[in-house]
Amino acid sequence: MLLIYIIGFVMALGLALLLTPLVKKFAVKVGAVDVPNARKVHTRIMPRLGGLGIFLAFLLSLLAILPLVPDGMLSSRDINFIAAFLIGGTLITLIGALDDRFDLNAKLKFLAQIAVACMVVFAFDIRVDFVNVPFQDAYSSLESWISIPLTIFWIVGVTNAINLIDGLDGLAAGVSGIAIGTIFVMALLMGNYMVAMLCLVLLGSIVGFLFFNFHPAKIFMGDTGSLFLGFCLAMLSMLGFKQIAIVSFITPLIIIGVPLSDTFFAIVRRKLQKKPIFSPDKGHLHHCLRELGFSHRQTVLIIYCIAAFFGVLAVIQSYAALNEANWVIFVVICIMMFFLQIGAEVIGLVGKTKRPVINTLIRLLAKPDSQTRSKL
């Protein structure tokens, strides 16, 4: 299997290097270009649709190495998952490509994503059937009326989370690559070789694309790439551990911590500002870091480091779960959430004046001093 992994990664990387320049020419020819505006960072017209290069490199490489997999290595459940992965990924890529060219209505695009998620659930019977019972080495079976909407919500939510952070050269591709690399490591530890194979082929496609997408970018991935990578992350993070049916949502949440937290704070920010959830703004993590004075590359690299930190936490959390150290998991999650909130308030993800935790801590720290002065 190691040789198959290497072949898949190298083939996907090479195809991405070859196909992305062709996709760039195609994007310009059909008019799939990104025009600068007040919300965007780039200052010149850029071809998008670059995600098509990632998708094609992944698809062709995977189809090429699947016949090399020894008989018996893939179960019927694995084959069913790969089929759902490829068909769903193809449909999501088509939706993104149409949006890159014709700027689809946000509601129409959202409904199309829900339709793809429903297809994955109902046509291929892929859903969250079990969840972890906190502080117990057990799993609780979910009824269909819970598992079906939960799975659809997860797929659509993660797909859009990657789309929302696609604001700087190489940002969404790099963060997705780090998350997929994390899943690859964990899949190997869990012995899930099918997921590991998908991750490594996909990672090769992303690395090849980043040669053209890292600052200064020559092409954007567009919604074609961000929606496809988001869909891939949703599927792999949901189904990549122990068994396809057994899911712990703590680990997937940590793996995609950067896009998920950015999406969460964007929703909170827009609600507080009484704006529609899907309305664009310049309050995302990368925008806030740029306002603090970091350069384009520095901002992207800082977010890469944050994503890698989340990846390490995910691996640690999974290792702790295997050793039944659930109390450690709980403490780590609480500490992580606390510092995540502090970081969001310092950077200004919710708003420049919205700092409830910091203001509370300042009041608590200042209270003893005021009492001491009053006694004197």
DSSP 355-371: -HHHHHHHHHHHHHHHH
Q: Are 150 and 128 in contact (CB under 8 A)?
A: yes
Q: Write down the pLDDT at residue 230.
A: 93
| Mean local confidence (pLDDT), 320-345 | 70
Q: How confident is the model over 78-105, as pLDDT tens digits?
A: 999 999 999 999 999 999 999 999 999 9
Q: Predicted confidence band at 237 (pLDDT cuts at 50, 70, 90)? A: confident
Q: Write down the pLDDT at residue 241.
A: 43
User: Is the pLDDT at 247 greater than 50, yes or no?
Assistant: no
Q: How far apart are CA 210 and CA 178, in angstroms?
A: 12
User: Is the pLDDT at 50 greater than 80, yes or no?
Assistant: yes
Between 187 and 96, name the one with better pLDDT: 96
Directed axis angle between helix 171-190 and helix 144-164, to 10°? Answer: 140
| Mean local confidence (pLDDT), 33-49 | 72
Q: Predicted confidence band at 242 (pLDDT cuts at 50, 70, 90)? A: very low
Q: Are 117 and 104 in contact (CB under 8 A)?
A: no
Q: How far apart are CA 296 and CA 286, in angstroms?
A: 9
* Structure-token pair, residue 159: 């797909």
Q: How far apart are CA 106 and CA 148, in angstroms?
A: 24
In this structure, are strands 33-34 and 46-47 parallel, antiparallel, or unpaired?
A: antiparallel
Q: Write down the pLDDT at residue 371.
A: 53
| Mean local confidence (pLDDT), 350-368 | 68
Q: Write down the pLDDT at residue 346.
A: 72
- Give residue for tokens 């018996």: 72
User: Is the pLDDT at 21 greater than 80, yes or no?
Assistant: yes
Q: Write down the pLDDT at residue 233.
A: 92
Percent of the chain at pLDDT > 90 equals 40
User: Is the pLDDT at 141 greater than 80, yes or no?
Assistant: no
Q: How many CB atoms lie within 10 A of CB 375?
A: 6
**Dihedral, 31, 106, 206, 61 alpha carbons, nearest 10:** -80
User: Is the pLDDT at 110 greater than 70, yes or no?
Assistant: yes
| Mean local confidence (pLDDT), 17-29 | 96
Q: Predicted confidence band at 205 (pLDDT cuts at 50, 70, 90)? A: very high
Percent of the chain at pLDDT > 70 equals 80
Peptide bond into 134 cis (omega under 30): no
| Minimum mean pLDDT range among 14-28, 127-141, 250-264 | 127-141
Q: Write down the pLDDT at residue 137.
A: 46
Q: Write down the pLDDT at residue 220.
A: 94
User: Is the pLDDT at 49 greater than 90, yes or no?
Assistant: yes
Q: How far apart are CA 116 and CA 84, in angstroms?
A: 10
Q: How far apart are CA 204 and CA 227, in angstroms?
A: 18
Q: Write down the pLDDT at residue 281.
A: 67
* Alpha-helical regions (H) of 214-295: 222-239, 250-255, 257-272, 285-291
| Mean local confidence (pLDDT), 190-215 | 93
Q: Are 31 and 205 in contact (CB under 8 A)?
A: no
User: Is the pLDDT at 240 greater than 70, yes or no?
Assistant: no
Directed axis angle between helix 51-65 and helix 2-30, to 10°? Answer: 150
State the average pLDDT for the chain: 82
Between 364 and 97, name the one with better pLDDT: 97
User: Is the pLDDT at 53 greater than 50, yes or no?
Assistant: yes
User: Is the pLDDT at 130 greater than 60, yes or no?
Assistant: no
| Mean local confidence (pLDDT), 23-32 | 94
DSSP 8-class letter at 142: P
Q: Rounded to two decimals, what is the model's pTM?
A: 0.84
